[in-house]
Structure 1
Amino acid sequence: MATSSPPRAVWTGAITFGLVVLPCRLYPATEEHAVRLREIHKADAGRIRHRRVCEIDGQEVPYEDVGRGYELADAGMVPLTDRDLERLPLPTCHQVDVLGFVPANDINPIRFAKPYFVAPDGDAAQHAYTLLTAALVHAGAVAVCKVAIRTRERLAALRPRHGTLVLHTLLWPDEIREPHGIGPATPVTEQELKLAVHLIGELAGVDTDELHDEYREAIEQLVDAKTTGGQFEPPPTPQATEDLLAVLEESVRAAHHIQRDNPPR
């Protein structure tokens, strides 16, 4: 069976831990398959086009002529080329600097941002790569690192997965918002808590590999209905539960029957 070639590396450098230097490349570990809806003019359904226009001469600028710059406090602009950014005096531009190792559960999941597959760069890097992967598995640890990818320096977590190293960029602490009272402080009874915990046990286990995004299918049904003049019945709006105890008891009974009729394989 033919296999697709790996995506283009987004970063090339080396992982350093202690005195060990592991040349590597980072590859995107995910790809989104979102439904893309176009921006249109409501009056006639014409496509809306966004153009790049220079604020000085008012001319439209082709993409290949678009660069980047740093805006000064007095509104002046300092142009920065890709070559300038490659020569940035920052070690993490070309180095995943391992700061230390922590248990995997010590990192709050809300901080995880974007994942990358880490590949050894060259034959000489393979031994160190295999050793670091095995050591992380054996220790049950992840490496906390700093790395600069594109135009940002980030914290990152380096962890093993199926014999491969995965680097997850992490949000900085000041990028995490606090809930500030979003969750209510309503008390619950012992019986409600007991039933809720029992329901969690009955519904334990989900094979996420069997799940898929149904949004595209729903969009296709909606488009088909609008183009053929057919009817499209939206799902009912969920209503808040009032008799929580009764609903929990019924949920436990229903979940128990489902598990009994469909035992884990």
Structure 2
Amino acid sequence: MRAIWKGAVSFGLVSVPVKLYAATESHDVSFRQVHAKDGGRIKYQRVCSLDGEEVAYADIAKGYETEDGEMVILTDDDMAELPSTSSREIAVEKFVPREQIDPLLFEKSYYLEPEGQGAKPYALLRQALKDADRMAVVTVALRQRTTIAVLRVRETEAGEVIVLQTMMWPDEVRVPDFKVEVDDAKPQEVKMAHMLVETLAGDFDASEFEDDYAGAVEALVKSKIDGGEIKRTETSTKTSGEVVDLLAALQKSVAAAKTARGEESDDSDAPAAKKSAAKKSPAKKTAAKKTAAKKTAAKKSAAKKSTSKKAAAKKAS
């Protein structure tokens, strides 16, 4: 794993230098949107909803939409004036009982690893949290914004580690706009519900559960590959062991671009291999003829100079 943040946990006068690692990773199956006819990837353009023109990335700004639909444009200078922090401190505000924190508030999880001389105070904090059965409520600056989080102890295959879990702000938790109202349940119905709970009671083991959807998708894709159901496109990054001629691919791209603009492609767009093979022999012959002509001219020039010198010598005598 690669550390994404470095700082220190501070509680009282104690400071624990730590590294932060992402504790989770997504294994969701992702699909690309493609043209069903030929498998070509679908591209999207940044188009202005008012004039219909494509907008360059450099011309895109941040906009805040008001409740009445008005748009407020925020410049880079405006954004720079907003409160931000780059503190490298995880400040412990208080230690609270576990049951007081609703799991609904939890957002992202990170592992904390002690750095340098922080191993001993890290171990002391870990033991204190575990013995007190409490979580430490902290404030921390991640990605230029201060957020609240908790520190708790988690048992892993590598041993017990401290986990930092960022939390939603209270106003980010939605309140349901519905109520469930029923008549009082009969005692026998309540008893049967309790029996059902007891029948299915047990301990949680995450390894008992499996993402069967991802496995089914992989099996489906493999069966299609084995059956030859593959769309080969010019932008495919993998081939059946064939070496891609980069120059030829570039030339094809130029030709395709010209065709899209309504221009005619010339011989310069032809694959390099064909052009080279067609002009190899004539090129050598032409070069040979030019060399022979230059040598003949040089000999004639030298002969003329020699004759002139002899004539001049005879006159002088």
Q: Secondary structure at the match of 2:20?
A: strand
Q: Which residue of 2 aligns with 1:9?
A: 3
1:30 and 2:24 correspond: yes
CA distance in 2, matches of 1:76, 1:199: 57
CA distance in 2, matches of 1:102, 1:80: 38
Question: Mapping of 1:57-68 within 5 angstroms?
Answer: 58-59=55-56
Structure with the larger helix share: 2
Contact 1:70 1:80 in 2 (8 A): no
Q: Which runs of 5+ in 2 are unaligned?
A: 65-70, 228-317
Classify 1:89/1:45 alpha carbon distance in 2 versus 1 (closer, same or farther; 3 Å).
closer
Q: Secondary structure at the match of 1:41?
A: coil
Contact 2:152 2:162 in 1 (8 A): yes
CA distance in 2, matches of 1:100, 1:70: 37
Contact 1:53 1:59 in 2 (8 A): no
Q: Which amino acid is 1:112 matched to?
A: F
* CA deviations over 1:76-106 (Å, ceiling 9, x no partner): 411699xx89xx7637x31111110001111
* Sequence identity percentage: 38
Contact 1:51 1:60 in 2 (8 A): no
CA distance in 2, matches of 1:173, 1:10: 26
1:174 and 2:171 correspond: yes
1:193 and 2:190 correspond: yes
Q: Secondary structure at the match of 1:216?
A: helix
CA distance in 2, matches of 1:71, 1:15: 36
Q: Which residue of 2 aligns with 1:154?
A: 147
TM-score of the pair, normalised by structure 1: 0.67
CA distance in 1, matches of 2:119, 2:34: 51
Bigger shift: residues 32-41 or 176-185: 176-185
Larger radius of gyration: 2
Q: Which runs of 5+ in 1 are unaligned?
A: 1-6, 62-67, 229-265
Q: Which residue of 2 aligns with 1:130?
A: 123
Number of corresponding residues: 212
Match of 1:120 among 111, 114, 119: 114
CA distance in 2, matches of 1:53, 1:125: 52
Contact 2:62 2:73 in 1 (8 A): no
Contact 2:61 2:74 in 1 (8 A): no
* Residue 43 of structure 1: how far off its partner (Å): 5.7
Q: Give the superposed CA RMSD.
A: 3.5
CA distance in 2, matches of 1:224, 1:184: 50
Q: Which residue of 2 aligns with 1:207?
A: 205
Classify 1:51/1:125 alpha carbon distance in 2 versus 1 (closer, same or farther; 3 Å).
farther
